[in-house]
């Protein structure tokens, strides 16, 4: 990766935790000025202050809930009017391990808003300046789940598939420029992601330890690959091999069968109850 210059700015969404905080720390260490964006005001502010003090960089915290279109538009405006913007990391996201019929439809739609709509709007805001300067990168955090459209993971897999396909096609449109698009597709990463409310029916203990990675290794892999033309980046050699198999259409039924989650009895009961009350 080429040397970072002080007047380069990186914007990271979902910066207050997990992979986002890790991206922010590593970029600050490399001398980027930072726009750290998250919905948790004290945490993102604290991160910005910490990075500014520790690395002597400019770090600004923006509080935005990316399910709110007005908040996304305001962040987009900020990106479009930041002439030193060199890197955008569309990282904010969350999981939802429920059958479509059992999930609150608003949770499903919020996932589309955060993973898809915010990613598209922020990317479209960042690109014109990057194209004009003929440099810059957008990292869209997808997932290996993009190739696992299985029962119990439909909203997540479908939104992450959108992110991967969007990134691939977009890089093709930008082939005559030095602007790079990456779809980062991690497998299982040790963050707070699996502890969230929507992931209660997911048991991390059932996943072999060998398939887990640290945020540090995932982010390092993403940053190393920024100067390459590869769009789909799958961190870790095990995941990389797994990902290649998962992308083969002929193996898709097997992948879906392995990844399939049984319907949680709790939510089934809840849905039945709702059905009774709704008449
Ligand atoms: N961990 C994994 O195994 C894994 C694997 C593949 C891909 N990923 C992807 O990696 C990305 C980062 O996840 P992570 O593992 O670092 O999880 P995390 O530790 O839960 O961090 C996600 C961050 O995104 C923020 N966020 C969620 N919804 C938001 C919203 N509406 N507006 C603004 N910020 C929002 C979260 O804030 P709150 O804490 O307030 O919700 C949190 O700070 C996600 O896109 C995820 O899908 C994760």
Q: Looking at residue 186, which CATH number applies to its domain?
A: 3.40.50.720
pLDDT in tens, the chain (279 residues): 333 345 899 999 999 999 999 999 999 999 999 999 999 999 999 999 999 999 999 999 999 999 999 999 999 999 999 999 999 999 999 999 999 999 999 999 999 999 999 999 999 999 999 999 999 999 999 999 999 888 899 999 999 999 999 999 999 999 999 999 999 999 999 999 998 888 877 888 888 899 999 999 999 999 999 988 899 999 999 999 999 999 898 888 888 888 888 887 665 444 444 433 332
Q: Is the CB of 48 under 6 A from ligand 1?
A: no
User: Exposed, middle or buried, 203 (CB in 10 Å: 0-12/13-18/19+)?
Assistant: exposed
Q: Which atom of ligand 1 is nearest to the CA of 196?
A: 20
Residue 191 located in a structural domain? yes
Residue 121 located in a structural domain? yes
CA of 146 to the centre of ligand 1 (A): 16
Residue 3 located in a structural domain? no
CA distances to 51, 129, 168, 183 from 161, rounded to whole Å, are 33, 26, 11, 10
Residue 1 located in a structural domain? no
Atom 47 of ligand 1, nearest CA residue: 93
Atom 23 of ligand 1, nearest CA residue: 14
Count of structural domains within the chain = 1
Domain that holds residue 258: 9-278
Q: Is the CB of 92 under 6 A from ligand 1?
A: yes
Q: Say which residues have a Cβ less than 8 Å from residue 81's Cβ, sequence separation at least 6.
A: none
Residue 2 located in a structural domain? no
Q: Is the CB of 12 under 6 A from ligand 1?
A: no
CA distances to 19, 32, 209, 276 from 56, rounded to whole Å, are 22, 10, 37, 60
Residue 182 located in a structural domain? yes
pTM (predicted TM-score): 0.93
Residue 4 located in a structural domain? no
């Amino acid at each position: 990766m080429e040397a970072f210059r002080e007047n380069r700015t990186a914007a990271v969404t979902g910066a207050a935790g997990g992979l986002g905080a890790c991206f922010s720390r590593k970029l600050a260490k490399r001398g980027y000025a930072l726009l750290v964006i998250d919905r948790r005001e004290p945490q993102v502010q604290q991160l910005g202050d910490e990075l500014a003090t520790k690395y002597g960089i400019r770090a600004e915290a923006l509080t935005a809930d990316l399910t709110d279109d007005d908040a996304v538009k305001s962040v987009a405006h900020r990106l479009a009017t930041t002439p030193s913007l060199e890197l955008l990391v569309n990282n904010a996201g969350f999981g939802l391990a429920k059958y479509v019929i059992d999930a609150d439809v608003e949770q499903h739609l919020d996932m589309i808003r955060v993973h898809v709509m915010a990613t598209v709007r922020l990317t479209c805001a960042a690109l014109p300046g990057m194209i004009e300067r003929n440099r810059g990168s957008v990292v869209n955090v997808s997932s290996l789940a993009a190739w696992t459209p299985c029962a119990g993971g439909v909203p997540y897999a479908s939104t992450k598939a959108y992110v991967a396909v969007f990134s691939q096609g977009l890089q093709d449109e930008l082939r005559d420029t030095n602007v790079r698009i990456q779809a980062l597709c991690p497998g299982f990463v040790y963050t707070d992601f699996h502890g969230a409310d929507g992931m209660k029916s997911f048991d991390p203990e059932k996943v072999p330890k060998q398939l887990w990675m640290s945020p540090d290794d995932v982010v390092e892999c993403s940053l190393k690959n920024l100067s390459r033309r590869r769009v789909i980046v799958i961190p870790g050699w095990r995941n990389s091999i797994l990902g290649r198999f998962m992308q083969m259409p002929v193996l898709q039924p097997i992948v879906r069968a392995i990844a399939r989650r049984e319907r949680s009895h709790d939510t089934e009961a809840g849905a039945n109850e709702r059905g009774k009350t709704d008449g």
